[in-house]
Amino acid sequence: MSSMANTGPDPRAQALVESYGRAGYARIEPPTLQPAEPFLDLSGEDIRRRMFLTADPHGRELCLRPDLTIPVSLDYLQSPAAGKAAGFCYLGSVFRHREGAAAELLQAGIESFGRADKAAADAEMLALGLEATTQYGLNAPQIRMGDVGLFAGFVAALDLAPAWKRRLVKDFNRKKLLAQDLDQLTLAAANGAPEYRGVLAALTGSDPKAAHHLVTDLLSIAGIAAVGGRSVAEIADRFLEQSALNAPTRLPRETRTLIERFLSLKGDPDEAAGELRALADETKIPLGPALDLFETRTGFLLARGVNVRAIEFSTAFGRGFDYYTGFVFELHDTADTLPRNKSPLVAGGRYDGLLTRLGAKTAIPAVGFAASIEELAARGGAS
């Protein structure tokens, strides 16, 4: 494909990515054809349905990139800058099968790696995203904002079985499942009382080594050979985790009310921070660093001239991708004259865990966003 396709028919897209360059982000053009594995592993099997997959003669699975965050991250990890602070921008196509719509979408975005000043970096992404809409004549888009870190911090501080904490955090992005989880937790239904009470009772108070021996013996008595993936230690650990808790798999009603109260908080970031502090004080559930980061970020947003009062923050807002770990945002057209398509004009967020999962030896903070040229051009005024 020639570079003509990338620059596109819209000169404003070119101008937009040039403005990213002036903001200090180096232009990068990752290959269109990418290994499929990272996308499937990180974005979930659901994306496979929408991906264009192929294979090379050695049977390696390849795809037309369905997003640019992972390709840019991979290129960064291969570059001499890997592990250091570095920022990149791009203008390029992503490919996703969409019923009744073109599969090729043009995106102009930024990925910022390795910055320790997370709050400032977050605020910069939102500010640059707003500049992108301004360049298309959309001066005051709706700003939706969330913070996955707040929910994770809140759940971590709850008095709950680790299995349930894992599940709540995992299902944060799937609101229907989260509601089901809460129902199940309170009812202690199918999954409620653990099976194998005898084993769990025998394990109460054991150390991991003793638990490991017990599970090994159980398998050997049953004549089962350990096969594949999970080790005996992992199985023992999970039993131990269940027994240590003496089966409090039931969610106390007040904890459920608390979770629901937490998830119903919304407002502008200042109002929300106030309510979160009040909730934390009242319930003695520390939100500590996550809330501090949240408030510092609001300060940086103000400093960048963002109209903070206009931001619609909600504790329940997520973007449906598991790799986000903190701040997330979407910009939407307020007029919404094209009801057919509810896609955001600009969307992004923080994904601090992604680079480790792509092979980085140490944790590298990362944040970024992408502007949809198609949406901006369709909704924005004439240039």
Q: For binding to other proteins (CB under 8 A), which residues are involved?
A: 40-41, 44-46, 48-49, 163, 166-167, 170-171, 174, 177, 180-181, 190-191, 195-196, 215, 218-219, 222, 224-230, 232, 234-235, 238-239, 322, 356-357
CB 23 → other proteins: shortest distance, Å?
Answer: 33
Q: Which is nearer to other proteins, 44 or 267 (CB)?
A: 44
225: DSSP letter: P
Q: What token pair was written down for 70?
A: 């992972």
CB 76 → other proteins: shortest distance, Å?
Answer: 18
**Contact (CB, 8 A) for 152 and 168:** no
Q: Which is nearer to other proteins, 81 or 232 (CB)?
A: 232
> Which residue, chain included where needed, has tokens 């909730």?
279
Q: Cα–Cα distance between 263 and 147 in angstroms, integer?
A: 11
- How far the first Cα of the chain sits from its last, in Å, is 27
Residue 235 region by backbone torsions, left for phi larger than 0, else alpha for psi between -120 and 50, else beta: alpha
CB 116 → other proteins: shortest distance, Å?
Answer: 22
Q: What token pair was written down for 12?
A: 């404003």
* Phi and psi, residue 6, nearest 5°: -75, -35
CB 103 → other proteins: shortest distance, Å?
Answer: 15
Q: Which is nearer to other proteins, 238 or 304 (CB)?
A: 238
Q: Cα–Cα distance between 56 and 157 in angstroms, integer?
A: 47
C-alpha separations of 20 from 15, 206, 261 in Å = 9, 57, 39
Q: Which is nearer to other proteins, 69 or 372 (CB)?
A: 69
Q: Which is nearer to other proteins, 4 or 224 (CB)?
A: 224
Query: One-letter amino acid identity for 207?
Result: D
Q: Which is nearer to other proteins, 119 or 215 (CB)?
A: 215
33-35: strand order across its sheet: 33-35, 61-64, 53-55
CB 170 → other proteins: shortest distance, Å?
Answer: 5
CB 24 → other proteins: shortest distance, Å?
Answer: 31
